């Protein structure tokens, strides 16, 4: 690193080395001004040079008397160029300031670099590096936030105040700091609404500068018109050159661009997902971002537990925090009367682990008037380079594998005397459990209680089967991970300024890293596949502090459905759609119906596979009809699938009669086991938020198919759309086909899980042909459902159309109780978990909440 001046010689002073190599230096002139180095959040590549050039149009040497010339100082590093214009008096002032603090600064840095902890810390390389394109002192006016509650009550001059701030411009954001402490006071992200205007008309301020984005209209005051214009032109040119992607309107209305050559990986069920998250956390060097609808600190990330508490989530986070990694967690602050997830306990537990762990909860329901909507994203971001995105919270009940076990009374035990060649942790047999304490759950039977006692059972695992959890997630790297991190940072910074308790310096503003370094991966999740990835979200004013809501997940779903050519495979926790523009507004169900009708009119094969839970995930005894909340969700699910003219089947039958059965299939999942000598069954709870189209396009995220998730103004959500660029030879509708490597491998794994792993690849390779659709998929679902009904008389059932029939149905004896041996023989005929969805269950009853119940009091959009 060096400095060059056109006419003046400068002696060289070595800079103490941070990592064992002398690649840094400081230059200064003995009797002239020193160069002003700024502390910042960034880094300089090893071996690269930094140069400073003083415009030759200025005098050859500093004159002995003050000059009226304006000096242009230009500094270059790699692709970046910075320019600063200063008069002679500024150099004199700077020189006096630096002489005053030079000795103290030298002593401080020398002592700092003598300490191994700081000398080897990655953040030390940020010292003495000028990382901003342009910076300087400005006057900043208060207010301007898009959220009314963050501003003064009026608009007059008495309602705002001016403060002196140090403004810094980066490639994708601006920030300003307090000049006395250097503390960051605000971060303004570059987005598609970013603009800069100058003049009194635009700013109501002499020499004013207005910077707008989706979150704020920031007013600055400069010391002259030339100064304001200098800021305006410089920022615009730099942002257009280095952050142009953030200024554009992207596909589906997303805040994020399509990122080519992105490494991505899918997960079916949480076993592999939890393991990869744990390994990535272990590899973290700088920071970890986590946001969940629900987070349970005491869950085990690797199972069975054979290494003590090493892979328990809270232990991992404490270990990384002790190593200097900064950990930031955002939790949904629930309405306690409606939900029992106890986010206050989670926050308190995590905050007590280490000072490097910071936890926020949002929203404050009274001050924000947000009672109905939730933060629903499930994200883990490592060093802004790896981002896990999907439907799996780091919480109780989520861990599962492809076996979807119903029982766990003791299945594995560590034998420390012997070592396993495959795992190196010992042989397994006997008594250790997969699900400890609150992790063993059946939330339709009983919702969680006493979460502050994590290892105490709350249901009897010897009499009640657990409810298996089926889910999907993904991980992306590089620029797409940066985009996920940017969403987290936007939400974190918004929450920090929104809630007064987080405005202290102990909760720092977060800064996005540059996209230019996004592909410099220090860690990579194994078995990732290169593809084209775009990050999508549902976000609004209440959730992210933005002016216009974003519903790019909804737009992507509709677009993919409309443009699909062969098939759709959908797994989702809810299926509430088919817009009437009154109660339900999202268009996903209508898009499915229209696409099927198009195929029918063109006489082409087209298949739609939909897998959803057999019952909604609300506590309630289904043998008595279930609770009001459970029935309300059932009403809207059925309204979408098959009940009423607006339903998918209603739209299809109006044009093609019973031929709809050749195009679409609705299914659920169920399993059985022996528990304490008795045969038992339970539905498998489908929590996935997945759509695959044509073996080349995949959407994975946290968004359910309902208005809450899709409309953008309600729950906050995140998803990724992955489009394959690598293909493999395959078959589609009997013809040779180039299938995407990512999409097809995920679809095949889903089919193996739900249909049974014994199926031959050739049986499931072609998802469109009649042989698979009718003889494998539909036939398996029908056979399994028939056997389960025969052995267990399962609910929901097509035999039960009203509550009178329900009371009669549950009194009849089950084959599993009458003749367990014969029942066991029947169950051997079941393959996989797939069962037909019962369309006629309680179809003669009004399932909406009855007048006078607490569920009837809440607005209808709560359920949709």
Kindly tell me the burial class for residue 100, based on how many C-beta atoms sit within 10 Å of its own C-beta (0-12, 13-18, 19 or more).
exposed
- Is 689 catalytic? The answer is yes
Q: 3-state class of 848 per DSSP?
A: coil
* Contact in structure between 516 and 566 (CB atoms under 8 Å): no
Catalytically annotated residue among 383, 400, 541, 724: 383
Our measurement of the distance from residue 756's CA atom to the centroid of its chain's CA atoms, rounded to an integer in Å, reads 31
Q: Residue 685: left if φ>0, alpha if ψ -120 to 50, beta else—which one?
A: beta
* Contact in structure between 220 and 209 (CB atoms under 8 Å): yes
The CA distance from 402 to 749, in Å, is: 10
The CA distance from 344 to 334, in Å, is: 9
Residue matched to tokens 């003049």:
199
Residue matched to tokens 């199972």:
303
- Is 376 catalytic? The answer is yes
Catalytically annotated residue among 170, 320, 376, 513: 376
Q: Residue 283: CB partners within 8 Å, gap ≥ 6?
A: 382, 522, 523
CA 298 to each of CA 26, 575, 585: distance values in angstroms, whole numbers, following the listed order: 49, 32, 39
Catalytically annotated residue among 265, 302, 378, 566: 378
Q: Residue 163: CB partners within 8 Å, gap ≥ 6?
A: 139, 140, 142
* Contact in structure between 362 and 507 (CB atoms under 8 Å): no
- Is 378 catalytic? The answer is yes
Catalytically annotated residue among 333, 375, 496, 687: 687
* Contact in structure between 784 and 611 (CB atoms under 8 Å): no
Structure tokens at 394: 């780091």
Pick from 652, 622, 624: nearest CA to 634: 622
Q: 648-675 as b/e, with b when 16 or more CB fall inside 10 Å?
A: bbbbbeeebeeebebbbbbbbbbbbbeb
Beta-strand runs (E) in 151-256: 162-169, 173-177, 184-189, 195-198, 208-212, 217-221
Q: 3-state class of 237 per DSSP?
A: helix
Length of the chain: 864
- Is 687 catalytic? The answer is yes
Catalytically annotated residue among 689, 695, 715, 814: 689
The CA distance from 37 to 135, in Å, is: 12
Our measurement of the distance from residue 772's CA atom to the centroid of its chain's CA atoms, rounded to an integer in Å, reads 35
The CA distance from 537 to 485, in Å, is: 12
Helix (H) or strand (E) holding 595: helix 588-601
Pick from 795, 797, 800, 792: nearest CA to 818: 792
The CA distance from 528 to 266, in Å, is: 8
What secondary structure does DSSP assign to 555-600, as a single string? HHHHHHHHH-SSEEEEEES-B-----SSS----HHHHHHHHHHHHH
Kindly tell me the burial class for residue 741, based on how many C-beta atoms sit within 10 Å of its own C-beta (0-12, 13-18, 19 or more).
middle
Q: Residue 114: CB partners within 8 Å, gap ≥ 6?
A: none
- Is 404 catalytic? The answer is no
Helix (H) or strand (E) holding 464: none
Structure tokens at 674: 């022996």
Structure tokens at 566: 């062969």
Structure tokens at 461: 């695992």
Residue 153 phi, psi (nearest 5): -70, -20
Q: 3-state class of 503 per DSSP?
A: coil
* Strands 689-693, 217-221: pairing kind: unpaired
- Cβ-based neighbour number of residue 311 at 10 Å: 21
Beta bridge partners of 141: 162
What secondary structure does DSSP assign to 107-134, as a single string? HHHHHHHHSHHHHT-GGGGGTT----SE
Catalytically annotated residue among 171, 292, 483, 694: 694
Which residues have a catalytic role annotated?
Answer: 376, 378, 383, 687, 689, 694
């Amino acid at each position: 690193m060096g400095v060059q001046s056109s006419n003046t010689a400068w002696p060289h002073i070595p800079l103490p080395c941070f990592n064992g190599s002398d690649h840094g230096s400081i230059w200064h002139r003995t009797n002239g001004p020193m160069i002003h180095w700024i502390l910042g959040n960034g880094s300089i590549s090893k071996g690269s040079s930094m140069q400073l050039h003083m415009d030759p149009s200025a005098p050859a040497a500093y004159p002995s008397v003050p000059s009226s010339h304006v000096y242009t100082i230009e500094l270059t590093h790699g692709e970046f160029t910075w320019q600063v214009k200063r008069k002679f008096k500024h150099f004199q002032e700077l020189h006096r300031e630096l002489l005053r603090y030079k000795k103290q600064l030298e002593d401080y840095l020398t002592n700092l670099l003598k300490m191994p902890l700081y000398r080897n810390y990655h953040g030390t390389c940020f010292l003495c590096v000028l990382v901003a394109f342009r910076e300087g002192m400005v006057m900043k006016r208060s207010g301007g936030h898009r959220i009314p509650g963050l501003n003064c009550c009026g608009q007059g001059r008495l309602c705002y105040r001016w403060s002196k701030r140090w403004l810094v411009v980066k490639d994708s954001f601006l920030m300003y700091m307090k000049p006395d402490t250097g503390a960051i006071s605000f971060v303004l992200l570059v987005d598609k609404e970013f603009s800069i205007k100058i003049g009194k008309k635009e700013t109501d301020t002499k020499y004013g500068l207005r910077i707008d984005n989706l979150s704020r209209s920031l007013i600055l005051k400069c010391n002259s018109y030339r100064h304001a214009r200098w800021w305006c032109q410089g920022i615009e040119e730099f942002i257009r050159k280095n952050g142009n992607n953030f200024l554009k309107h992207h596909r589906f209305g997303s805040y994020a661009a399509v990122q080519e050559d992105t490494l991505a990986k899918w997960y079916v069920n949480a076993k592999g997902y939890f393991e990869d998250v744990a390994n990535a956390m272990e590899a973290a060097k700088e920071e970890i971002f986590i946001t969940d609808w629900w987070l349970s600190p005491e869950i085990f990330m690797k199972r069975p537990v054979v290494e003590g508490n090493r892979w328990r989530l809270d232990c991992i986070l404490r270990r990384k925090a002790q190593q200097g990694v900064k950990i930031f967690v955002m939790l949904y602050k629930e309405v306690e009367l409606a939900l029992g997830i106890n986010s206050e306990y989670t926050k308190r537990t995590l905050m007590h682990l280490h000072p490097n762990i910071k936890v926020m909860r949002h929203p404050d329901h009274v001050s924000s008037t947000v009672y109905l909507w939730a933060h629903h994203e499930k994200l883990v971001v490592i060093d802004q380079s790896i981002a896990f995105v999907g439907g799996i919270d780091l919480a109780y009940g989520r861990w599962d594998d492809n076996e979807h076990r119903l029982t766990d009374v003791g299945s594995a035990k560590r034998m420390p005397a012997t070592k396993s060649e495959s795992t190196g942790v010992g042989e397994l047999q006997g008594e250790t459990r997969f699900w400890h304490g609150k992790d063993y759950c059946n939330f339709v039977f009983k919702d969680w209680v006493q979460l502050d006692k994590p290892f105490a059972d709350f249901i009897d695992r010897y009499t009640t089967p657990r409810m298996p959890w089926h889910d999907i997630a993904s991980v992306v790297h590089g620029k797409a991970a940066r985009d996920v991190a940017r969403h987290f940072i936007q939400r974190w910074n918004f929450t920090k300024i929104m809630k007064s308790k987080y405005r202290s310096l102990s909760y720092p503003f977060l800064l996005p890293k540059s996209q230019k370094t996004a592909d410099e991966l220090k860690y990579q999740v194994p078995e990732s596949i290169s593809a084209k990835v775009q990050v999508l979200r549902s976000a609004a004013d209440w959730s992210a502090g933005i002016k216009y809501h974003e519903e790019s997940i909804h737009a992507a779903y509709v677009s993919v459905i409309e443009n699909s050519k062969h098939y759709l495979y959908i797994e989702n926790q809810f299926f509430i759609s088919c817009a009437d523009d009154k109660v339900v507004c999202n268009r996903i169900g209508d898009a499915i119906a229209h696409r099927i009708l198009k195929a029918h009119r063109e006489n082409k094969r087209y298949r739609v596979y939909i897998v959803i839970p057999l019952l909604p995930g609300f506590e309630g005894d289904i043998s008595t009809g279930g609770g009001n909340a459970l029935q309300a969700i059932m009403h809207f699910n059925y309204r979408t699938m098959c009940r009423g003219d607006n339903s998918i089947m209603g739209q299809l039958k109006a044009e093609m009669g019973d031929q709809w059965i050749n195009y679409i299939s609705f299914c659920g999942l169920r399993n059985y086991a022996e528990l304490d000598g008795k045969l038992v069954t339970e539905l498998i709870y489908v929590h996935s938020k997945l759509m695959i189209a044509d073996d080349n396009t995949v959407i994975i995220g946290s968004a359910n198919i309902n208005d809450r998730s899709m409309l953008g103004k309600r729950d906050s959500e995140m998803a990724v759309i992955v489009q394959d660029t690598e293909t493999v030879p395959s078959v589609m509708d009997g013809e040779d086909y180039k299938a995407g490597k990512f999409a097809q491998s995920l679809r095949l794994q889903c089919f193996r899980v739900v249909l049974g792993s014994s199926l031959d690849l050739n049986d499931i390779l072609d998802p469109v042909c009649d042989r698979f659709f009718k003889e494998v998929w539909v036939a398996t679902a029908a056979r399994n459902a028939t056997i389960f009904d025969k052995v267990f008389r399962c609910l929901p059932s097509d035999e039960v159309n009203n509550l009178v029939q329900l009371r009669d149905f549950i009194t009849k004896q089950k084959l599993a109780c009458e003749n367990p041996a014969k029942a066991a023989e029947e169950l051997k005929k079941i393959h996989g978990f797939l069962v037909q969805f019962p369309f006629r269950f309680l179809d003669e009853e009004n399932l909406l909440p009855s007048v006078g119940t607490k569920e009837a009091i809440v607005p209808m959009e709560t359920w949709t």
